[in-house]
Amino acid sequence: MELTPVRWGIIGAGDIAERVMAPAMRAAPQSELVAVTRRDRAAAEAFAARHGARRAYDNIEALLRDPDVDAVYIATPVVRHCPDTLAAAAHGKHILCEKPLALTVAEGEQMRAACAAAGVQFMTCFYQRFNARHRQIRALLAARAIGQVTAARWNFSGRSADRPGAWRQDPAEAGGGCYMDNASHCVDLLRFLLGEIVAVSAFVDTLAACYAVEDTATSILQLASGAHAVITSYWSTGDPADERNSRLEIFGTEGAIISTPLHDKFSRGQLTVATSAGEQHFTYEASTHVALLAEFAAALAEQRPPAITVDDGLAALRTVQAVYESARTGATVRVGQAGSEAGRA
């Protein structure tokens, strides 16, 4: 089926939109970049010129009133995800929102209600579900290539030194640090590959920085299947090697699956399946974001929810919230039974 291209507006034409999403919109046949907005009008116009957008705005309301915009990609700081989503829904625009979904589960639920009331689709931008390596892993697990899965380890780390004014290092704007930001990808990918998370125990600290969010987080998670998992996310480590600091490992009764780097936006890297029969190696190259945009366009054309819904964003946020509560209290926390605030105290 040939799809009519989705006409996009970008709210928050910053770094991630510059490097990844705007180029993907140009590359995806189902997408057309129509308009962008930044508070700095000159910067918005320069962005639009670089990426072929028709119009640039310096305020969100002007972009949302644009009749040529069908959907918006929200890439503002986390504190803006809820109000920007509510505004977009009120104008009848479909929404692709960056992760993490919101500062709190309560905000996320407000976003879900607003989109349902307005009849617009909402997709959470957990792009690593569209990594070709991760799709292959899902197929391998369905085929029981390594038997019964009993354990998993995810690491998504690097060095994030103090940067005065950086919104990701401000709890009021980001809601948390390395776990809220990087590990939320790991949480969603764990759910995508291995099923629901039911309980967590965690340590969360700031060890190498002076900012007010965590730079070192370690969590142990229990899955509904009974399997155990460990997710680590550090902004306090300087190891530059992706094969160590961006790594996914799944262990089963008959072997193991290892994939690295976890974070690559073009599916590049190495996937290894190790069993008693030997090792298999897989490599790929495909844009995660082009595939994500294709799914969004197909969902709109078929009038169905997209593959990653607001509920997926909420599920990840509930796990992050449980991690922070476990770190605060020293207790194992059942996911969904933590307090109302996702951010670290």
Candidates 289, 275, 316, 98; CA nearest to 187 is 316
Given the DSSP bridges, would you call strands 197-205 and 216-223 parallel, antiparallel or unpaired?
A: antiparallel
Nearest to 38 by CA among 49, 27, 25: 49
Residue 222 phi, psi (nearest 5): -105, 135
Is 93 considered catalytic here?
no
CA 133 vs CA 112, 247, 281: distances in Å:
30, 12, 11
Q: What is the CA radius of gyration of the chain?
A: 20
For the chain, what percentages of helix, strand and coil (3-state, to nearest 5) are there? 40, 25, 35
Question: In the numeric block, which tokens belong to residue 163?
Answer: 């940067």
Query: Do the beta carbons of residue 174 and residue 180 sit within 8 Å?
Result: yes
Report the Cα 258 to chain-centroid distance in Å: 21
Distance from C-alpha of 49 to C-alpha of 58, rounded to nearest angstrom: 15
In angstroms, the CA 52 to CA 33 distance is: 7
Q: String of b and e for 285-308 (b: at least 16 CB within 10 Å)?
A: eebbbbbbbbbbbbbbeeeeebbb
Q: Please pick, among 99, 265, 318, 344, the residue that the annotation labels catalytic.
A: 99
SS3 per-residue string spanning 18-76: HHHHHHHHHHCCCEEEEEEECCCHHHHHHHHHHHCCCEEECCHHHHHCCCCCCEEEECC
Catalytic residues: 99
